[in-house]
Chain A
Amino acid sequence: MAEYSAWQVLKNAVTGNAGWRPAWRKPEPKPSYDVVIVGGGGHGLATAYYLAANHGFTNVAVCEKGWLGSGNIGRNTTIVRSNYLLEGNTPFYEHSMKLWENLSHELNYNVMFSQRGIINLCHTPAQMDEAARRGNAMRLFGVDARMVMPDELAKRVPGLDLSQNARFPVLGGLEQPRAGTARHDAVAWGYARAADRRGVDILENCEVIGFLRDGDRVTGVKTTRGEIRARKVAVCVAGSTGRVMKLAGIDRLPIESHVLQAFVSESLKPMIDTVVTFGGGHLYISQSDKGGLVFGGDIDGYNSYAQRGNLPIVEDVMSEVVALFPAAAKVRLLRSWGGIMDMTMDGSPIITTGPLPGMYLNCGWCYGGFKATPASGWCFAHTIARNEPHPLSAAFTLDRFHRGHVIDEKGQGSFPWRH
């Protein structure tokens, strides 16, 4: 029987909660593994889980320099959606959405996936046309999408400024009803626990500080807890990709590291029960189950590993919140933070074999990688197990930049700081 169930909750309630096991073990590193995954964020843990669940690889270790959830998996604004336009993207993100829909069940862990919908607002006739085109493209791929008009918006999102006096009057929007949010920490914990139960060693406080090499081939990692040999080494370190790949002698990649800030307000009564994005500026906002408004905007816009942002973006994001929801002007901010992301030159991720033999690389999630966590792990596990891309992530290989097959969803060219 599943370890977490209503019956177990009841049973433990009357037996002093003494029957619970730790969610994952704290093993000592073994001298060698079939696969070592560098980075215990959402993507690394999902990769470990699918390596075990889909491919039978159980002699696997995940090396995490800090504690699970200390990276971007625990820092994001938790939005999950598959409202993409381009061919390489849509089937991949929709596969992710389908995995999300069954994730709590699959992991026997409540990731609090909430399909509250996402509404992208439009403020010009051109934006309305673009939204309709995107919606049609989504539906051609079997993804749900519908247009919403202001009268419906007035009912659905009561605090929204729909007046003609708004700086950017709202003409309508595109909704993906199956989109929503998930509890980000729970995603890390759920994957960690499910991978651990299948034998994967999760090694926390185990920073990779170098790579073992045999000529060109990568044969393991040097860590703060000793050397670990591996047949395959998979790097999955989100915003630290540049730094970690330098340890392997890869000096240049189509990536820049940038900071993205996020914000949470004090708790309020329910006021937004969906996710709203502001097409007049760049804002995404939802309300957490605890009542806080959770929101973010643009990246700060210049290379940074500082894991904290600067004030111009704070001001920018706050002004957008107030422009959309004038009543929010009186709400106090509870906290804000920054996360470092690797921005690729086309704004799309990299899931690839190489760049060295024995190595596999998963990175470049820009600011949209949380929603991708399940599919990223699914496809990366396939890439590692089979030494070839999964059909759903075949467009994301590293050589696309040199083949000229970039996937530029925003159509903005190679200006990562503008994505």
Chain B
Amino acid sequence: MIITCPHCGPRDLAEFSYFGDATATRPDPSSTDQDAWNAYVYDRENPAGEHREYWQHSGGCRGFVIVTRNTLTHEISDIRLASGTQARRKRK
């Protein structure tokens, strides 16, 4: 698998670390809604197909990217920088 880092270009999978599902939204830190926290920590959609996920280019620029990858074929259809995505989502 080759992942194209927006900073560094196409690099081997071995340079990257996986950080999991990028679709889960963290509940508000002051939230005491136990179900919401449980769902965030434990429950996953786990799709067979397109999956949005965090990777870190740990062997390169160390930046975090959001990769859209097909879990059946490993085909990557989109890569973008992760920085600011959480913040942007919150402002909406």
Contact = CB atoms under 8 A, between A and B. Distances in A.
Contacts of B73: 306
Contacts of B53: 302-303
A414 interface: yes
Interface stretch (A77-85, A175-183, A248-256, A321-329): A248-256
A305 B71 contact: yes
Nearest to A251: B45
Contacts of B1: 310
Nearest to A413: B41
Contact of B46 (A256, A312, A415): A256
A254 to B, nearest CB: 4
B42 A401 contact: yes
Interface size class of B (residues with CB under 8 A): 20 to 34
A253 B46 CA distance: 8
Interface string A244-272: 00000001111111000000000000000
Q: Do most interface residues of chain A lie in helix, strand or loop, or is the interface mixed?
A: mixed
Given A301-B18, A305-B72, A306-B73, A252 B44 contact: yes
Contacts of B42: 254, 345, 401, 414
A410 to B, nearest CB: 16
Most chain B CB atoms below 10 A, which of A254, A303, A311, A415: A303
Interface size class of A (residues with CB under 8 A): 20 to 34
Interface string B9-51: 0001110001011000000000000110011011111111001
B62 interface: no
Interface string A76-102: 000000000000000000000000000
B70 to A, nearest CB: 9
B44 A253 contact: yes
Interface in B62-81: 69, 71-74
A242 B38 contact: no
Interface in A272-327: 301-306, 310-312, 315
Nearest to A304: B71
A345 B41 contact: yes
A243 interface: yes
A107 to B, nearest CB: 34
A392 B74 CA distance: 39
For the complex of A and B, list the 8 residue pairs with the smallest distance between their C-beta atoms, beginning with the closest: A242-B46, A252-B43, A254-B42, A312-B14, A302-B18, A401-B42, A305-B48, A345-B42
5 contacts: A301-B18, A302-B18, A302-B53, A306-B71, A402-B35
Interface of A: 242-243, 251-257, 301-306, 310-312, 315, 345, 401-402, 414-415, 417
Given A310-B74, A345-B42, 5 more contacts: A251-B45, A256-B44, A257-B71, A303-B46, A310-B1
